[in-house]
Amino acid sequence: MEMPRKTGDKERTRRQRGGALRQEKLSSRSPPSLVPLRSPPSAGRLPMDNGRPRYFIGNKGLVTRMFSRISSRPMSLHLIGQPVTFVDEDRQSYAYIKIRKRTDLPQGLLISPSSPPSFPRITADLSLRTVEEHMEGFLVTAATGALKSVLVKLAAMAGEFEGVRGQISFLADEFAAMHVFLLRMSDSEEGNADPQDKAWTREVRELSYDIEDSLDEFMLHVVDGSANPDGFIVKCRNLLTKTMARRRIAKMIAEFKAQIKEVGERNARYMNGDIQQLIRKITTSLKNKRYLIVIDDLWNIESWKIIRCAFSRSITGSRIITTTRINEVAESCCFPHVHRVYKLRPLHFVDSKRLFLKRIFGLEECPSHLTEVCCNILAKCDGLPLATIAISSLLATKAPTEDQWNQVEKSIGYALERNEDVNGMIRILSLSYFDLPHNLRTCLLYLCTFPEDYIIHKKRLVRRWIAEGFIHEEHGHTLYELGQRCFNELINRSLIEPRYIGKFGEVKSCRVHDTILDFIRSKSIEENFVTLLGIPNVPIDRQKKVRRLSLLVNTEEYYSSLEENNIKYVLDKKEDDSNEQEDNSNGFHILKKLNLCNARLLTIFPHSVKVPSLLQFRRLRVLDFEGCEQLENHHLANIENLLHLKYLSIKDTIVNVLPTQITRLRCLQTLNVDVRGAINIPTHIYRLRQLTYLLVDMRCQLPDKIGNMQALQELKVVNVLAQSLNTLQGLGKLTNLRKLSIFMPGHHADAAERYKGHMKAMISSICKLGRDNLHCLTIHISSVSADDFIQEPWCPPPLSLQELVINQAPMSRVPRWIGSLVNLQRLGLYLKELSQEDVSTLGGLPALLSLILYVEEVITEEGGRLRISSSYGFPSLERIRIGGESCRLELTFEIGCLPKLQQLNLECMVAEENHTSSSNVVFGIEHLSRLTTIYCCIHYKYETRLAKVAMLAALERSIISHPNQPTFTKEEYGDFVDESC
């Protein structure tokens, strides 16, 4: 497709194109380039074409996505030869690449021998097809390790160091082959994979992490340090540094090649290993030693007969433990007359069916065409509750067709057909696990870093996923939004259980069912994804590199069990006698013996072991001390050495000083310092240019130059009066800020002018942010500042807001500027009075989905009822919560109002018995055509107890007559003392 141009220019364009191509062959001349008709885009701009990106890798990690016009032809273009600048004239896309021959040129591009513009050049010796394939998807997963991330970083370094392109090409080809193998292995169900393949998979995954760590350290110390040199001396120094870096990277790549070769040769060497030789080796290693060995997941008796040959009978008191899902295999491993097999008591078939259907359809009735296959599936679930939930959650994601259900039923059948005594629970969990996309499997496995029955907050979890690299960018969405999508998908599949539901109906936290937690712990340990310290009977292999370390508990029982059982794996590598006699009774002693220098995660929970030195953790991405009671200021010493750190949380600790050296952590994305007391923030924290989430205590003072932190997307909680005017004005410059939480305290009479100036500055900044990306705003106001705050004009109103919450102290009325927020979807207000005018203001909001009105008093004309009419009838509202414990609420819903309302939540105080309208709290419920749920919380006094009974009876009659038969839940709170007591 040709770019639009004048007819008279065709000949000149042809000559220009030909001249440029001829000039390509002359290396002594200036490289040809396309004529840019617009100025180049800013670094990091990522244009898209209908959601289909095209990737070109640039130096320093820059990724420029080209439009499909440029790359619509088969991608045979190789990045070798002379550099050429491509510019899409009418859509403005840019990249440097190196072409091989004329036939590789994209069509529809103007070429002239002008000098190239100054933006990064692409010089990697990789095909664009390879780059595109390996850029898609998630950079870090449990299945493939960091292979994709390594490919991207190698290509970026090739753009900086031209002398190593050939070696990088070799590495890329090797990693591409490894990546395909790992993906295939990850889709192989447990029990079907060859043990040798599984061992090689672990080695390759570990190698990918090591190589990415080395590349990250190199880029931090060399490449980033030379960016944007300023001054002659600095340029000379950077030139010398770059020369030394070329030698260093050549040496590093040689080491990578040697490691790849070693892994490959080891795999080949043992691929056809002699079983008898292995038995002899194990027997020799264990001779005259006392050991405890766990053989996990035996599938047949024949395998046990071979394995037990390696363990001769001895008098040392050694023990062998086997786990299996097959009853007769378990019996074959036991001593004679010792049978300890436990089975879960299954659900009755009727209960299983009710649970199964309600999870899929929301009802207890099965479509007629699915009745037979439904019974077959339930029979194979064998009454196991979690199995029933897992399969129903899987079917809920598929079309309700007979073919789809038969396919799932056959999958279950294949899993169970080899032996009827197989533990169906684990097999069905495996089925659900392997049905997940690779990124969701990784996110699920990551949950095992939390203790059993622990309440996991969504925000904390998603931010850690992002820091680990599990969430990949998509055009038009933030990483947090994509992480929320993964969280909700795990909820929908019943792999995690929702715990706390927020005020707007969203899930705020979750927990993991014990059985699922055991399953993902097993998978994580098998893949060396996580090392867990503090769980009885979980093996600790000190020979493996720790990738993620979770310190869970510190109980005497746990450490005494370690000492008693001497938990460890006995490898085919001999250990020194000194290692055999190590005292494992002390948790901190065990910690010091682990290989921690490659750990990417360190999380310590309350009552865990004492805090280790950060000097052991050079490559951490996530450091989570949330709730760690024993954390003190000195434990954060040397934190500046964690150059890869992206997530740091000291929430709910007693730390009160943040080290000034934290400003050296250039990769930091999340900083949570919402501690129990006041904390001092370094004044130069604005230098953290990648910081995305900053969560502080409301007593914290932010820097004057906060406007420089352009990456910030979430900031909470800002105490307005604790900040300088420069800080409040700087907030208005944070154009990427999406969530903001502020506290507006009251003022003393002698500080009235300062208070007014700060309030105006804060409102002005909010209005500026409301023109850009500010979506969520939470305002905590004091009783003194409430009315001052709402009376101040908000001009222009923050139209980008989608969620607004104003709480802590009541306002006298609804601020009028709220009626202008046409994009508002969620609103929560605390009001002294609610009038008919306020209802009209709120009812006109076109996008409002959820509304919470905590009201002290309802004001109507002549003591009438509050009416919601079709004129301002909340056209999009789905959930409403209205009232308060002291509010005498009386509502009337008119015909045509609230056409989409599904949930109605009422809270009120019963009026006096002689009040004529107290017989019903609401009229017109029958007009709410989509209503499914009603909740009513009633407060009453002793003298109004009879009125309460009459009111509930009237409400229940209205609900019974509703055609939808909505679910009704009530709560009653009596405020009186029984005098008979």
Residue 368's pLDDT is 81
DSSP track, 61-107: G-EEEPPTTTT-S----BS-SSEEEEE-TTT--EEEEE--SGGGSPS
Mean pLDDT (whole number) for 728-748:
91
The ranges assigned to domains in the chain are 7-112, 137-271, 275-333, 349-431, 438-529, 698-809, 825-981
Which residue did the predictor score with more confidence, 237 or 315?
Answer: 315
The percent of residues in the chain predicted with pLDDT above 70, rounded, is: 67
Q: What angle do CA 871, 775, 793 make, to 5 degrees?
A: 65
Name which of 630, 622, 634 is nearest 671 in CA terms: 622
Bridge partners, residue 325, by sequence: none
Flag whether pLDDT at 361 surpasses 90: no
| Residues 19, 26: Cα–Cα separation, whole Å | 11
Does domain 438-529 bear CATH number 1.10.10.10?
A: yes
Alpha carbon distances (Å) from 871 to 18, 696, 898, 899, 922:
69, 44, 10, 12, 19
- Indicate the range of 101-115, 624-638, 689-703 predicted with least confidence: 101-115
Q: Which two tokens stand for residue 716?
A: 């909470």
Q: What angle do CA 944, 946, 952 make, to 5 degrees?
A: 100
Flag whether pLDDT at 74 surpasses 60: no
Flag whether pLDDT at 605 surpasses 80: yes
Residue 662's pLDDT is 94
Flag whether pLDDT at 585 surpasses 70: no
pLDDT digits (tens, 9 = 90+) for 553-572: 644 444 444 444 433 322 33
Which residue did the predictor score with more confidence, 205 or 736?
Answer: 736
pLDDT digits (tens, 9 = 90+) for 273-284: 557 777 888 888
Residue 190's pLDDT is 56
pLDDT band for position 493 (50/70/90)? confident
pLDDT digits (tens, 9 = 90+) for 169-227: 777 777 777 777 777 777 665 555 666 677 777 777 887 788 788 777 777 766 454 44
The percent of residues in the chain predicted with pLDDT above 90, rounded, is: 29
Q: Which of 107-111, 324-328, 937-941 has the highest mean predicted lDDT (pLDDT)?
A: 937-941
Residue 67's pLDDT is 28
Helix spans in 770-899 (H): 786-791, 836-843
Return the SS3 of 474. Answer: strand
pLDDT digits (tens, 9 = 90+) for 430-442: 877 887 888 899 9
